[in-house]
């Protein structure tokens, strides 16, 4: 599949400098792209490659000032990075549209409802009373449990397991190996020291435009729903426990964990390997630094925390600066003690 510079400019509302008829068929990084490839320049650190790249077309910021001649055709836009992301999304959608039909072997229950132009990959199992919306792509070896609802234009990659009664919205992307709706970690301690399992009879609800990374697990609620709100983005290898609620447009990086019944607000940013204990409230716009351990609710919107236990980010920086000075302060204290001894005649 090839595109001309003129077609690319039309897709991203860009302005062309150079040959509008030059064609590209793939993408490349600006420092290593070859003829026939499209690249972009958003970070000034890579500006030197603009003048040496072999790419046929380069997307640049309108604010970019050229210091040398450029051999590539340029497409100038207000934000090169966002424009490149938009172009990749359009390209990916075009590739997705080529996937249609039901591959064999696969198992689809007679009571399942499959929408128009759906793709179902081989070795997929779709249980009774499942509904799948139009234009959704289900890759091989996916399991959809009884009563699962999947919206339209969703993408479910290989090996995803979605347990019974879970609800997946429109334009949701779930990457390979993720498990949606496994039992929450509920066990009641008994007098003899053993643990009795608490049945998990709720479900998971994933709203529209959510993306779930590979090998992430989202547990079903004990009662009610574990909810991932519209537009949230979860990285790979994340654990979301039962009855958690993740707010809209919240982003969580890899290896983070959220314990049961915690409610995270909208537009929250959670760094990698952060841990949040259960039954907390995390205010809208909070920023939780990587490897932080959050043990108390964050009640003030847009606050930033770091450390374990987590506390105010600015205060933490001051504490770190003070800690770095401790060896110097110890040396000065020893010198002062020595001076006092001399002055006291000791």
Q: How confident is the model over 251-265, as pLDDT tens digits?
A: 999 999 999 999 999
Residue 151, in any domain of the structure: yes
Q: What digits encode the pLDDT tens for the residues 137-160? A: 999 999 999 999 999 999 999 999
Give residue 97's pLDDT: 75
Out of 57, 74, 96, a domain closes at 96
**Domain assignment present for 50:** yes
Q: What's the pLDDT score for residue 328?
A: 87
Is 328 part of a structural domain of the chain? no
Please check the confidence at residue 343 and state whether its pLDDT lies above 80. yes
> Do residues 229 and 216 both lie within one domain?
yes
- Residue 318 banded pLDDT, cuts 50, 70, 90: confident
Whether residue 268 is found in the same domain as residue 297: yes
CATH code, domain with 53: 3.40.1390.10
C-alpha span between 140 and 125 (Å, rounded) = 9
The least confident of 117-126, 180-189, 275-284, 332-341 is 332-341
Per-residue pLDDT, 346: 58
Q: Is residue 341 part of a domain?
A: no
Does 309 have pLDDT greater than 90? Answer: no
Domain span at 250? 101-315
Q: Which of 153, 164, 242, 279 is catalytic?
A: 242
Instruction: Specify if 339 maps to a domain.
Output: no
In a domain, 219, yes or no: yes
CA distance 7 to 94: 14
Round the average pLDDT of the chain to a whole number and report it.
94
d(CA 123, CA 118): 15
Question: What's the confidence (pLDDT) of residue 326?
Answer: 84
- Looking at the 3D structure of the chain, how many domains does it have? 2
Instruction: Identify whether residues 125 and 243 lie together within a single domain.
Output: yes
Residue 164 located in a structural domain: yes
- Does one domain contain both 134 and 264? yes
pLDDT of residue 279 exceeding 70, the answer is: yes
Same domain, 249 and 166: yes
CA–CA dist 330, 318 (Å, integer): 18
Distance of CA 22 to the CA centre of its chain: 35
pTM of structure: 0.81
As a dihedral over the C-alpha atoms of residue 238, residue 240, residue 246, residue 249, rounded to 10 degrees, the angle is 20
Residue 77 shares a structural domain with residue 170? no
Whether residues 205 and 61 share a domain: the answer is no
Q: What is the pLDDT of residues 189-239, one digit of tens each?
A: 999 999 999 999 999 999 999 999 999 999 999 999 999 999 999 999 999
Q: Do 231 and 107 have their domain in common?
A: yes
Q: Are 36 and 15 in contact (CB under 8 A)?
A: no
Concerning whether 242 is annotated as a catalytic residue, the answer is: yes
């Amino acid at each position: 599949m090839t595109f001309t510079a003129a077609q690319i400019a039309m897709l991203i509302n860009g302005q062309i400098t150079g040959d509008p008829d030059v064609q590209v068929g793939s993408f490349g990084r600006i420092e290593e792209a070859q003829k026939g490839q499209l690249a972009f320049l958003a970070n000034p650190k890579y500006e030197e490659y603009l003048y040496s790249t072999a790419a046929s077309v380069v997307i640049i910021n309108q604010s970019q000032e050229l210091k040398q001649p450029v051999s590539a055709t340029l497409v100038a836009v207000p934000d090169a990075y966002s424009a490149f992301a938009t172009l990749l999304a359009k390209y990916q959608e075009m590739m997705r549209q080529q996937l249609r039909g039901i591959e064999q072997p696969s198992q689809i229950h007679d009571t399942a409802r499959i929408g128009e132009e759906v793709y179902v990959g081989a070795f997929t199992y779709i249980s009774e009373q499942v509904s799948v919306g139009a234009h959704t792509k289900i890759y091989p070896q996916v399991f959809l449990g009884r009563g699962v609802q999947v919206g339209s234009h969703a993408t479910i990659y290989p090996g995803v397991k979605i347990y019974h009664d879970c609800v997946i919205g429109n334009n949701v992307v779930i990457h390979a190996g993720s498990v949606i709706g496994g039992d929450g970690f509920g066990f009641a301690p008994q007098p003899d020291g053993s643990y009795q399992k608490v049945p998990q009879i709720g479900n998971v609800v994933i709203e529209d435009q959510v993306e779930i990374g590979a090998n992430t697990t989202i547990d079903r609620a004990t009662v009610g729903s574990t909810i991932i709100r519209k537009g949230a983005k979860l990285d790979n290898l994340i654990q979301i426990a039962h009855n958690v609620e993740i707010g809209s447009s919240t982003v969580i990086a890899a290896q983070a964990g959220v314990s049961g019944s915690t409610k995270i607000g909208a537009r929250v940013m959670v760094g990698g390997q952060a841990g949040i204990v259960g039954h907390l409230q995390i205010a809208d716009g909070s920023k939780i630094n990587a490897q932080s351990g959050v043990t108390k609710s964050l009640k003030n919107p847009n606050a930033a925390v770091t450390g374990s236990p987590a506390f105010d980010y600015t205060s933490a920086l001051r504490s770190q600066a003070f800690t770095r000075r401790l060896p110097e302060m110890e040396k000065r204290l020893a010198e002062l003690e020595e001076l006092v001894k001399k002055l006291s005649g000791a």
